[in-house]
Amino acid sequence: MSILNNALTSNSDFGCVALLDAQGKEKVKAYDAQLSIFQAPLDYEWEPLLQKVKASGVADAGAVYEKMGVSFFDILYPLENGNYLLVAVRWESLKNLLFDQQVGEKGFIWLLDEFGRVIGDSHRENVGQSYADWLFFQFHLDNRDEWRGEFSDPKGIASVGAAAWVKGAGWFILSAQPQSEAYAEAYSLR
């Protein structure tokens, strides 16, 4: 328990740190006392994240979720003894770090989950929007290599950017801007 408390107090971005048994049931936990949402016993038995980590045997991060107005994502670590270490991380902290970049005036940074749902948007305009059918996303769902180049955004706007999958998290990061802005100097020279 003291190890969990130390982990919790050493990082203000953590909402909860817990030890789960092989079935995903809470054995012990430490959580931020202001987050009463973590008072109830944790049960991850049927959570897709636990099933994924059990199958792969490697740590992974889950989707962003909201409880009582606070957003989190879970990181689950398999331990040698068949137990799991769960860390619930405040999403706002990571979001601020990811989206403090400016991509031109009209550019954007998106974070999509494996289902094509925007879970983070530097402009906060597309969060929750699903682009699962977008051909660009479909291509990168099958091809997990880092990428940079030209493409059309979901609205058909010719764009230029770079993208990469965050391995072990199932998140796709896309940083892009319209070609008209990115190539403005070249267009004016023509």
Spatial CB neighbours of 178, under 8 Å, sequence gap ≥ 6: 104, 106, 107, 153, 157, 158, 159, 160
pLDDT of residue 162: 94
CA 144 – CA 164 distance, rounded (Å):
7
Amino acid at 156: G
For the chain, how many helices (H) and strands (E)?
6, 11
* DSSP annotation of 140: H
CA 175 – CA 167 distance, rounded (Å):
17
* Pair 62, 71: CB distance under 8 Å: no
Residue given tokens 């959580």 in the structure block: 31
pLDDT of residue 94: 74
* pLDDT tens digits along 56-92: 998 888 888 878 778 888 999 999 899 999 999 888 8
Amino acid at 98: L
* pLDDT tens digits along 154-169: 999 999 999 999 876 7
Within a 13 Å sphere around the CA of 186, how many CA atoms are in the beta-carbon half? Answer: 5
Q: Which positions of the chain have pLDDT values less than 50?
A: 8
| Residue 189 to residues 99, 103, 113, 177, Cα–Cα distance (Å) | 32, 22, 39, 20
* DSSP letters spanning 67-110: ETTEEEEEEEEE-TTS-EEEEEEEHHHHHHHHTT---TTT-EEE
